[in-house]
């Protein structure tokens, strides 16, 4: 992943997930580590440019995954400090989803709603 994501960000994500593991008493797999790293790379760029994002399910995420949301509010400070950006509550909502990924009920929800869409375009398709 260091070929795609800045090493400073990789170190930050490792710190974040270590704290989250301790607070939530849960281990996060490599998918969460890679996914969060890639997500935050784009998020840091957006935040530094002042581009806002919107999380359409922020309130339900905050209520359903309260512990993960509180933890996300704490660990985002690592990114804010290391990259001199300010994260919105919407961004914290997205991070909460990564932290909730280890919970069985979250994984069951994803299994129900995940689908594949293949779109092709161009002259040779």
- Please count the structural domains in the chain: 1
pLDDT band at 5 (very low <50, low <70, confident <90, very high): confident
Which domain CATH number covers 55? 1.10.1790.10
Neighbouring residues of 62: CB distance < 8 A, sequence distance ≥ 6: 69, 93, 96
23 assigned to some structural domain = yes
- Residue 55 has which token pair? 């999380």
Task: Please report whether residue 123 resides in a domain.
Answer: no
Q: Are 61 and 89 in contact (CB under 8 A)?
A: no
Q: pLDDT digit string (tens) for 86-116?
A: 999 999 999 999 999 866 554 454 554 545 5
Range of the domain at 77: 7-113
> Is the distance from CB of 69 to CB of 92 less than 8 angstroms?
yes
Q: Is residue 121 part of a domain?
A: no
pLDDT value at residue 101:
84
The half-sphere exposure of 111 on its side-chain side, counting CA atoms within 13 A, is 6
pLDDT digits over 24-54, tens only?
998 898 889 999 999 999 999 999 999 988 9
């Amino acid at each position: 992943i260091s070929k795609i994501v800045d090493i400073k960000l990789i170190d930050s994500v490792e710190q974040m997930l270590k704290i989250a593991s301790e607070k939530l008493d849960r281990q996060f797999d490599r998918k969460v580590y890679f996914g969060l790293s890639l997500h935050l790379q784009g998020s840091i760029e957006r935040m530094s440019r002042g581009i806002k994002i919107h999380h359409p399910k922020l309130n339900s995420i905050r209520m359903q995954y309260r512990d993960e949301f509180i933890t996300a509010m704490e660990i985002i400070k690592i990114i804010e400090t290391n990259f001199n950006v300010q994260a919105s509550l919407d961004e914290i909502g997205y991070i909460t989803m990564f932290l909730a990924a280890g919970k069985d009920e979250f994984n069951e929800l994803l299994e129900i709603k995940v689908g594949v869409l293949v779109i092709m375009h161009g002259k040779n398709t």
